[in-house]
Structure 1
Amino acid sequence: MKEMAQREREASSNYINRDLSWIEFNWRVLEEAQDVDTPLLERVKFLSIVSSNLDEFMSVRVAGIKDQIKAGYIKKDFTGYTPAGLFKRIMKRSTKMVAEQYKSYRDVTRQLAKEGILFTDYEDLNMNQRKAMDSYYHEIVFPVLTPMAVDQSRPFPLVHTQAVYLAVVLMKEGDDPEDEPYFAIVQVPSNLSRCIEVPARSNSKKHEFVLLEDLIEQHIHTLFSGYTPISVHGFRLTRNADLTLNEEGAEDLLEEIEKELRRRRWGSPVRLEVQKGIHPYALNVLQEEFEITENIFEIDGPLDLTYFMKLAGSLKGYEQLRYKPVEAAYPLELADTEDIFMKLKQQDVLLYHPYESFDAVTDFICQAAFDSQVLAIKMTLYRVSGNSPLIQALASAAESGKQVTVVVELKARFDEERNIAWARQLEQAGCHVVYGLVGLKTHAKITLVVRQEQDGLRRYVHVGTGNYNDSTAKLYTDLGLFTSHMIIGEDASALFNEVTGYSAPHNWKAFGVAPTDLKDKLFEKIRREAQHALEGKPAHIIAKLNSLSNQQMVEELYEASKAGVKIDLIIRGVCCLRPGVLGLSENIQVISIVDRFLEHSRILYFQNDQEPEVYLSSADWMTRNLTRRIELICPVFDKHLQETLIRILELSLGDNVKARQLQSSGLYSRIVNEKKPLRSQFEAMKIKSWKKKPQHHEV
């Protein structure tokens, strides 16, 4: 009843709170782990994703809310929450989610056991298996362990964020049991496998695993001779991981970020996870040390289920428990040519990852790097893979004398260290490396190649909705556009000039660019649709995004809905707009799709009185994207490619297998109708059959 009353109070606001909306998104991820139609090892992965999502949410969003509470901030946000009230609500929903997650964990491990994949307690191993595990402990694990006592002469050691530790309560041999016990902690080594495979039993094909922390607990006495362990329980601390940079005063941004990364180790505690049944003395010591009384999660199971992702990926065989692999097709338009530039002179090319291979992007950069007619390559890098072939190609291009400019975003959260390494490697190769503009993250995904041809200079551009990352391109749905369209090329040059030099704001002919004019351009297009509706003309907006949380944007959409515009929103994650409210948003539908691949592509469609405009975008409709980042929207001029993008939108809107619809209450429900089952991601695997012969533009 209390939960229902709370929901009714929340529904009285015209807006859904951003952080509570995010929690609903993570619930949808958890539902995929619970779905019996999802292959079992894929359910394991979804359980892991729930944990990693929650880790980032706690270390960034909840950390920020706690900072506001500590500073005495009591002003309500536009959704009606004070920081303290929001924190209380987040705690309630998160606690319920974690309990449900571990209930799902127990169900999944039971199903894994039926398939011959078991997590076995040490006590249940046979004699030969115990000998093998004892040997592994003494030879591999024991030399790595460092027991750290806590007493008057030895202060509490640094506890790393999101690492698993054991809290050990001890009694000295011969002491009175009523005396205060001793306390120590042991870090579970993160550089050893969390899941240790046990030798198989005789005539058994089953795979058995023991968790590393359980093996350490079983041998904990080897670390404390002369003491008797009373209890051993796991704990895990999450610290504030949000960087606070003084960009204005930093002489060297790279060095400033490196300093801040070191300070991140000492970030203020935000969340404490403890194993169920932890000794009261151990819990009291941890609470006092970390000065944390709220946001304590008692976990009924192993801490940190992110290890499940590695396990699911490392198990050999069991193909029947996984999704069938997707063989990414090389784009048909480029498959029959060895000269990408010649093809792009004739036509634009659209890529849809992961159904189409990211190799085409790599080939584009590599060809540019070794083409003697290419004079310059300019590119933005936000997140790249650990062994990116793009980095090697850019370095080779610079070494061969080409002008190579790379805008590396050092502030890409949790990728800062990797990007610093890339920046240094590119600089050593002779690339011009730019770290963006003070106070702004460079989030636009764009590459510009300038080539000297017989008829003069020509610009070739790639604009994407996702990062230049060949690894995530296999896991995320994203779009990329190759074009040599003159107007787009001119805008691309102007964009790089603004980022790397001193340039007055450009009068964009094709792009919309944040933070200067993107928001205003979007408002203009939304208002144009509203005017068409008021004039009795067909008016329709479709937007496929990751998040929608900017208050002004929500209000513009409300006004368009009241004018009669049909609005379809495909929002994977956070959505602060409340659809289906009479007199406010009855013409707005919001759906979310959580499936095998992470929905990441951003597509905008405006009907524009039967002259449709379709855009690709790097930006979500969040305040940070519209005001504090360099973002862009890029038009797709080719009519056939527009049709392909509209078809992608229609597929998402027609999904009745994995799509959930946002209700005006703020809750999501699965779409149920009498139509033939349509799973948009699986249908998208047939993309090759949609592609019609593209329209050739003038050379």
Structure 2
Amino acid sequence: MYLNRDLSWIEFNRRVLEEAQDPSTPLLERVKFLSIVSSNLDEFMSVRVAGLKDQMKAGYNKKDFTGYTPAGLIKRIMKRTAKMVSEQYKAYREVSRLLMKEGIVFTEYEELNISQKKAMDAYYHDIIFPVLTPMAVDQSRPFPLVHNQSVYLAVVLVRDGDDPDDDPYFAIVQVPSNLSRYIPVPTRTNSKKQEFILLEELIEHHIQSLFSGYIPIAVHAFRLTRNADLTLNEEGAEDLLEEIEKELRRRRWGSPVRLEVQQGMHPYALSQLQDEFEINENVFEIDGPLDLTYFMKLAGGLQGFDHLRFPRITAKYPVEFEDVEDFFTLLKQQDVLLHHPYESFDAVTDFVVQAAYDPQVLAIKMTLYRVSGNSPIIQALARAAESGKQVTVVVELKARFDEERNIAWARKLEKSGCHVVYGLVGLKTHAKITLVVRQEDNTLRRYVHVGTGNYNDSTARLYTDVGLFTSHGVIGEDASALFNEITGYSAPHDWQAFAVAPTDLKDKLFELIEREAEHARAGRPAHIIAKMNSLSNQQMVDALYAASQAGVKIDLIIRGVCCLRPGVPGLSENITVRSIVDRFLEHSRSYYFENGGHVDVYLSSADWMTRNLTRRIELMCPVFDNTLKKMMIQILRLSLNDNVKARELMPNGMYMRVKNELTPYRSQFEALKITSWKKLQLEP
């Protein structure tokens, strides 16, 4: 009845790989997709596979609800992953050949001419050599710490005059991560080609400079992935920030999960690595450079190759705010819905900045999960606190792989006078909400922004999300109650508009799904459209199965993991599942319930995963305004009409591209064509 979460994730990453394989994708965008496949796989190995290995070590061998034991699932994962990595590097070789035709060449040292070699020799001796540290491994020098997901060289050496039957010497050299992985090579005479050489290739050629008196007989790259999931004792932690800082230091010692080695690695070097890391099965031989994540920076940094990229776009500033000096005057009169990245996230930043400088604003409350490296929102909140406003910021320190950045922001905000709250013990605060309290005449008015994505101006240019501005009284009251629950001691609130996890969001969704089933059984219109990143909670899947059997039409738009098996007779024949992988990362969570003709529409921070519904503070907010409801429905229909980048999930768990006789319709490109979402004549 169910598809496995982790195997479904592998199918998602395969869809990302398909974008790198697709000849219709611009060449440098294919390069980026290759990089994304690698970074996705790194996180999957260091978290999901690491967790399964921990279960095996603990002797846990029960089957999950999809029928897999940890050991059986790891076997299946490794088999599928190995196949995907092989396909990835096949695509890498094809892309490299096409880049060469365009004048972007990755070369080896021996292929350089004399003047180029001189330049590279100088770069090595002046820049690289002083940074390198050769680390021998022998009886007096134990194996050094190998950092997570860093590239190293394994060096096998002999000494002149030694018995050839003696064991060789072994050492490792870290490829410096603070130097560019690809090095520009001086242009050849009368050539327009841009040539690059990989950092490890240059080090390998000069490896003798690190081991005088020894002869290197083999040099091969390797890379280790460690368990990077944090194990926090939140209950016993006196200071959560300090506890997370300690755990981040421990992360570098996480148990080995995966070993990647350059194809053809010397057997002695491989045995040394496997013995040290106690890893035999999860070893990947890579036919190409290890760690293709460096491709992302290359693709973004090359100058003069715009014809190999998607056309540049400029996000439109929301038409409602174009000629408006005062956001608050407008939002008193109407709600506003934004669709990113097609509409600019600058409007959200400007809202916070205006609140920070407005003398009538008394308080700003905000949740921060992931923010950009130089966030203007952080600067505005700090300014607001320094000017005497009450500023409360819920910073989620446990946002995976953003922990260090969030700790830095938390300290900066505290120094500015903000009240910084780290959330509730045992729960991540994943809700995306801002509350501004303003003195107007003799009353206080609340202004609220609720979104599906993070308050991150960088990712807002790359992710599709929706956000709602409102001064609706009921939403404002719920927003105040939500912050009181997070920051103080408050009993669960009797929500008027919101549904909040972990207390009642799941029950609210069950109620909405069952209501559609009742409508269907009574012969009234019944239809659910749900767009999210992942669906893996068994109870949610079962509720959708039951609604399908009652006759509810259910269209799911799920970018990533989906444990539901659609189209199974007698179980889910009324359910379709589609996934869109394209230029922008589909990130919004929005839900439509037909309700017998009285449509309800919601936006949310929550996917339908167990962690979102039971272990996080999440938020689902209704859209009350009828015009904005129609906008939300139109956004959902964009995805449902896609027949270019949409893949449909088959009952067997495989995805097939949506193909029909209709005019090609690419949802993200169609969204870019819409000059103003507010002027559309929207169908109900």
Same fold (TM over 0.5): yes
2:578 pairs, out of 572, 576, 591, with 591
Asked if 1:603 corresponds to 2:564, the answer is no
Distance (whole Å) between structure 2 residues aligned to residue 290 and residue 689 of structure 1: 56
Asked if 1:567 corresponds to 2:554, the answer is yes
Counterpart residue type for residue 542 of structure 1: I
Asked if 1:237 corresponds to 2:224, the answer is yes
Equivalent positions of 1:5-84 (< 5 A) are: 14-84=1-71
Asked if 1:103 corresponds to 2:103, the answer is no
The residue number in structure 2 matching 1:646 is 633
Distance (whole Å) between structure 1 residues aligned to residue 442 and residue 201 of structure 2: 70
The residue number in structure 1 matching 2:673 is 686
Distance (whole Å) between structure 2 residues aligned to residue 652 and residue 691 of structure 1: 19
The residue number in structure 2 matching 1:194 is 181
Check whether the contact 1:331–1:360 (CA below 8 A) recurs between aligned residues.
yes
Distance (whole Å) between structure 1 residues aligned to residue 65 and residue 680 of structure 2: 48
Counterpart residue type for residue 144 of structure 1: V
Distance (whole Å) between structure 1 residues aligned to residue 625 and residue 654 of structure 2: 38
Distance (whole Å) between structure 1 residues aligned to residue 180 and residue 163 of structure 2: 39
The residue number in structure 2 matching 1:677 is 664
Give CA-to-partner distance per residue, 1:343-391, whole Å, 9 cap, x none: 1001101111111111101100000001000000000000000000011
> Deviation at 1:455?
4.7
Equivalent positions of 1:203-352 (< 5 A) are: 203-352=190-339
1:361 pairs, out of 348, 351, 365, with 348
Check whether the contact 2:331–2:470 (CA below 8 A) recurs between aligned residues.
yes
Distance (whole Å) between structure 1 residues aligned to residue 670 and residue 528 of structure 2: 23
> Deviation at 1:689?
3.5
Distance (whole Å) between structure 1 residues aligned to residue 218 and residue 466 of structure 2: 53
Distance (whole Å) between structure 2 residues aligned to residue 326 and residue 350 of structure 1: 20
Check whether the contact 1:395–1:426 (CA below 8 A) recurs between aligned residues.
yes
Give CA-to-partner distance per residue, 1:319-344, whole Å, 9 cap, x none: 10000111001000011101000010
1:142 pairs, out of 107, 124, 129, with 129
Matched residue of 2:410: which SS? helix
The residue number in structure 2 matching 1:132 is 119
Equivalent positions of 1:165-564 (< 5 A) are: 165-564=152-551
Check whether the contact 2:319–2:676 (CA below 8 A) recurs between aligned residues.
no
> Deviation at 1:692?
3.6
> Deviation at 1:194?
0.5
Counterpart residue type for residue 229 of structure 1: P
Counterpart residue type for residue 171 of structure 2: A
Give CA-to-partner distance per residue, 1:466-494, whole Å, 9 cap, x none: 00000000000011100000000000000
2:110 pairs, out of 114, 118, 123, with 123
- TM-score, structure 2 length as denominator? 0.99
> Deviation at 1:594?
0.1
Matched residue of 1:592: which SS? strand
Give CA-to-partner distance per residue, 1:459-518, whole Å, 9 cap, x none: 000000000000000000011100000000000000000000011110000000000000
2:606 pairs, out of 619, 627, 632, with 619
- Identity over aligned pairs, percent: 79
Check whether the contact 2:555–2:575 (CA below 8 A) recurs between aligned residues.
yes
Counting matched residue pairs gives 682
> Deviation at 1:687?
3.3
> Deviation at 1:177?
1.6
Distance (whole Å) between structure 2 residues aligned to residue 361 and residue 394 of structure 1: 13
Distance (whole Å) between structure 1 residues aligned to residue 618 and residue 483 of structure 2: 12
Check whether the contact 1:404–1:432 (CA below 8 A) recurs between aligned residues.
yes
Distance (whole Å) between structure 2 residues aligned to residue 379 and residue 274 of structure 1: 45
Q: 1:468 and 1:364, CA in 2 relative to 1: closer, same or farther beyond 3 A? A: same
Distance (whole Å) between structure 2 residues aligned to residue 295 and residue 345 of structure 1: 58
Give CA-to-partner distance per residue, 1:180-225, whole Å, 9 cap, x none: 0000000000010100010010010100110000000000000000
Distance (whole Å) between structure 1 residues aligned to residue 677 and residue 135 of structure 2: 62
- TM-score, structure 1 length as denominator? 0.97
Give CA-to-partner distance per residue, 1:575-596, whole Å, 9 cap, x none: 0000000000000000000000
> Deviation at 1:165?
0.1
Matched residue of 2:678: which SS? coil
Counterpart residue type for residue 598 of structure 1: L
The residue number in structure 2 matching 1:162 is 149
Matched residue of 1:609: which SS? helix
Matched residue of 1:407: which SS? strand
Distance (whole Å) between structure 2 residues aligned to residue 676 and residue 492 of structure 1: 44
Counterpart residue type for residue 232 of structure 2: L
Distance (whole Å) between structure 1 residues aligned to residue 636 and residue 382 of structure 2: 38
Check whether the contact 1:640–1:692 (CA below 8 A) recurs between aligned residues.
no
Give CA-to-partner distance per residue, 1:625-669, whole Å, 9 cap, x none: 000000010001111111011001111000000000000000000
Quote the RMSD (CA, aligned, Å). Answer: 0.9
> Deviation at 1:294?
1.2
Q: 1:458 and 1:273, CA in 2 relative to 1: closer, same or farther beyond 3 A? A: same
Check whether the contact 1:173–1:228 (CA below 8 A) recurs between aligned residues.
yes
Worse overlay, 21-30 or 352-361 = 352-361
> Deviation at 1:538?
1.1
Matched residue of 1:691: which SS? helix
> Deviation at 1:694?
12
Check whether the contact 1:348–1:483 (CA below 8 A) recurs between aligned residues.
yes
